[in-house]
Amino acid sequence: MTANAANDAATILIVDDNPVNVGVVVDHLEGEGYQVLVALGGYEALERVRFARPDLILLDVMMPDLDGLQVCRRLHADPPTRDIPVIFMTALADVTDKIAAFEAGGVDYVSKPFQLEEVLARVRTHLALRRARQDLEAHTAVLEAEIEARRAAEQALRYLALHDPLTGLPNRTMLMDRLQQAIAQARRDQRQVGLLLMDLDHFKHINDSLGHFIGDELLEQVARRLRTVLRECDTAARLGGDEFVIAAGALHGPGDAEQLALRVLKVLDAPFMVQGRELHAGATIGISLYPGDGDNPAALLQAADTAMYQAKRRGRGSYRLFSRDLSIAAERWHALSNDLHGACERGEFVLHYQPQVSIDTGEVTGIETLLRWQHPQQGLIAPALFIPLLEEHGRMVEVGRWVLHSACAQSAAWQAEGLPPIRIAVNLSGQQFYRGDIVRTVREALERSRLAPELLELELTESLTLDDGEATLRIMGELKALGVVLSLDDFGTGWSSLGYLRRFPLDRIKIDRSFVRDLIGDQGTAAIVHSILDLARQLDLDCVAEGVETDAQLEHLRRERCPTMQGFLFSQGVPAAEIATLLAAGRPKPRRITG
Ligand code: C2E
Ligand code: CA
Ligand code: CA
């Protein structure tokens, strides 16, 4: 190792009151390439160190003003100078003096009169030691920073593994863990644990029609509100989608759980403001309890799920406690859900057709296509039972496409048999409207069947129009451009806003069955129907009254100048062959043809 490389211009301070000593050492060290500073007394030494920060100090012990031991002690007491190695130069031979030198903080000593080679050797050694120590410290600092970074990353990972990233609520894993703890605690305290499973009533629709961005923000706001109803021993979690769970510990019984459910429903009842829109989420809650409904988290979750399904079927915006009877109904529901898998491919769906009749002339003016499921064991199943399942499994787009193609083909087939051309209506679900490429599907169905577009009517439900934004308008416009007829189904049941009747390119409205049912005997309903018909005439919209079952209803509608009716009074939905017979028979007067 060359002197220069080893010294790397290290600075050495020599402190000695004897200039002769100093001179000899300085010459020698400078000859080795060190930078050398000199102090001729204790105080001067302290002053020098303060400004020059040498890498090593050679320090005489015996000095008149401040002796070397004191200088060393002071340097050692001060953090910035503590680490500068001090080598004493001493003429004292007594062991106790040498010990005192180490106690004062010195790292080594050389005895006077000294050999210059020895001084140099010790200087080199201590400089190297110091450098090694500094390297080690720097290295340790890097290591510590790395460890800290890793710890932070692990913590973030653990957080991610246990929380829902969107709402920051615990996720399923953490919920199950908390639930397990709550159960153990309840077992010790002779208390109960409640599990509330809820899902938002209108979330799917909001998400589909207004977009994920708004859907996500709604979920965040829901999470925020949920937190406000929790006690310390409760955990709210998000399982995914719009499914939230609350695990409530230390309950006295079902009453406490019901109280909590009511608080949740109440806190979600007020409208949410999302991106300047007022949205109503609402929730349905299923409740299960430990120990009554299960003794482990999975069983409780299953039971709460069952209860929630039942609550939904009874009407949204409510809660329901689990009971064994529910479980049996739920099993049936799940079985049906399983059977539905592949039903389309197996050809189990069939279409029925219900005529629409001119009230004036009794002529059949249109036909509505109604979907049915021919279940291999349970027979014909109504759409109200399985369409929600299809939507839940995301199959409605595909089944809806089949309905559209089949209905168009059927209508073309009737014409090919020589029957008079008749307008055929097909129901569209929200999912088809927003998730599928509905415009293309309709165009293809028309092309393949060669059906004249004005003979195809698409029934849109009012809930579709919740979003009166660009997307809905654009899709409706494109459908209109194909030449098809657009009607608004179940009119009067949704978030009726009369504004969109004018804005949307609609051709007809269908007065919901519930109004026709209460038409006779309820003046309020009669007044509403009167206004709807009035409005339709003013906006130049065609109008159909649905669910006409009695002559009295028909008479009333005739007096109100409602142009068209549809209902059991004339016919329920029937297979295609019966429609062919009906069309072939010409223009029958309205009458009951099926019971
Ligand atoms: P909707 O569009 O309002 O269809 C009319 C429903 O009212 C049909 O029930 C029909 O059988 C029933 N109905 C007709 N006249 C009377 C009457 O005088 N009295 C009574 N009580 N009911 C009458 P259905 O076939 O059970 O269909 C129920 C709903 O399922 C439909 O309501 C429609 O929203 C939906 N749906 C049916 N087929 C399809 C389809 O292919 N696609 C979609 N997306 N939805 C469909
Ligand atoms: Ca309909
Ligand atoms: Ca309807």
Residue scoring higher pLDDT (8 or 414): 414
pLDDT exceeds 90 at position 464 = no
Check residue 560 and give its pLDDT.
96
The answer to whether the pTM exceeds 0.85 is: no
Check residue 5 and give its pLDDT.
43
How far apart are the C-alpha atoms of 178 and 182, rounded to whole Å? Answer: 6
Check residue 209 and give its pLDDT.
84
Of the pLDDT bands very low, low, confident and very high (cuts 50, 70, 90), residue 489 is very high
Check residue 210 and give its pLDDT.
87
Closest residue to atom 12 of ligand 1, CA basis: 547
The alpha carbon of 517 and the centre of ligand 2 are apart by a number of angstroms equal to 16
Check residue 170 and give its pLDDT.
95
Both tokens assigned to 556: 């009333």
Of the pLDDT bands very low, low, confident and very high (cuts 50, 70, 90), residue 435 is confident
Of the pLDDT bands very low, low, confident and very high (cuts 50, 70, 90), residue 494 is low
pLDDT exceeds 90 at position 472 = no
Check residue 465 and give its pLDDT.
57
Lowest mean pLDDT among 270-274, 326-330, 434-438, 549-553: 326-330
357 lines ligand 1 (CB under 6 A): no
The alpha carbon of 48 and the centre of ligand 3 are apart by a number of angstroms equal to 98
Per cent of the chain over pLDDT 70 is 94
- HEC readout, 62-100: CCCCCCHHHHHHHHHHCHHHHCCCEEEEECCCCHHHHHH
pLDDT exceeds 70 at position 469 = no
Smallest-distance ligand from the CA of 356? 1
Residue keyed to tokens 């804005």: 503
Residue scoring higher pLDDT (588 or 192): 192
Average confidence (pLDDT) over 392-406: 91
Check residue 430 and give its pLDDT.
82
Pick from 424, 513, 566 the residue to mutate for probing ligand 1's pocket: most ligand atoms within 8 Å of its CB: 513
The alpha carbon of 331 and the centre of ligand 1 are apart by a number of angstroms equal to 26
- How far CA 594 is from CA of 148, 204, 549, in Å, comes to 79, 38, 11
Check residue 463 and give its pLDDT.
66
β-pairing, 86-90 with 56-60?
A: parallel
Lowest mean pLDDT among 219-228, 464-473, 547-556: 464-473
β-pairing, 108-111 with 86-90?
A: parallel
Check residue 394 and give its pLDDT.
81
The alpha carbon of 273 and the centre of ligand 2 are apart by a number of angstroms equal to 32
- How far CA 402 is from CA of 331, 399, 430, 456, 485, in Å, comes to 29, 5, 16, 15, 19
Both tokens assigned to 474: 């654009």
Q: Is 33 left (phi over 0), alpha (psi -120 to 50) or beta?
A: left
How far apart are the C-alpha atoms of 393 and 333, rounded to whole Å? Answer: 14
pLDDT exceeds 70 at position 329 = no
Rounded (10°) CA dihedral 405, 411, 412, 417: 140
**Is the separation of the CB atoms in 237 and 177 below 8 Å?**
no
571 lines ligand 1 (CB under 6 A): no
492 lines ligand 1 (CB under 6 A): no
pLDDT exceeds 70 at position 539 = yes
Average confidence (pLDDT) over 544-573: 97
383 lines ligand 1 (CB under 6 A): yes
106 lines ligand 1 (CB under 6 A): no
Nearest C-alpha neighbor of 14 from the set 34, 40, 50, 53? 40
Closest residue to atom 34 of ligand 1, CA basis: 427
568 lines ligand 1 (CB under 6 A): yes
In sequence order, the β-bridge partners of residue 564 are: 358, 544
**Is the separation of the CB atoms in 309 and 343 below 8 Å?**
no
pLDDT exceeds 50 at position 593 = no
The amino acid present at 240, given as its one-letter code, is G
Check residue 43 and give its pLDDT.
95
Check residue 341 and give its pLDDT.
87
- How far CA 243 is from CA of 167, 210, 237, in Å, comes to 12, 19, 9
How far apart are the C-alpha atoms of 128 and 115, rounded to whole Å? Answer: 20
387 lines ligand 1 (CB under 6 A): yes
Per cent of the chain over pLDDT 90 is 68
The alpha carbon of 493 and the centre of ligand 3 are apart by a number of angstroms equal to 10
Check residue 424 and give its pLDDT.
98
Quick count: other Cβ atoms within 10 Å of Cβ 556? 19
Closest residue to atom 20 of ligand 1, CA basis: 547
pLDDT exceeds 50 at position 3 = no
Nearest C-alpha neighbor of 479 from the set 471, 468, 467? 471
The alpha carbon of 546 and the centre of ligand 3 are apart by a number of angstroms equal to 6
The alpha carbon of 512 and the centre of ligand 3 are apart by a number of angstroms equal to 6
pLDDT exceeds 90 at position 303 = yes
Check residue 206 and give its pLDDT.
87
Mean pLDDT across the chain: 90
Average confidence (pLDDT) over 119-139: 93
Check residue 311 and give its pLDDT.
86
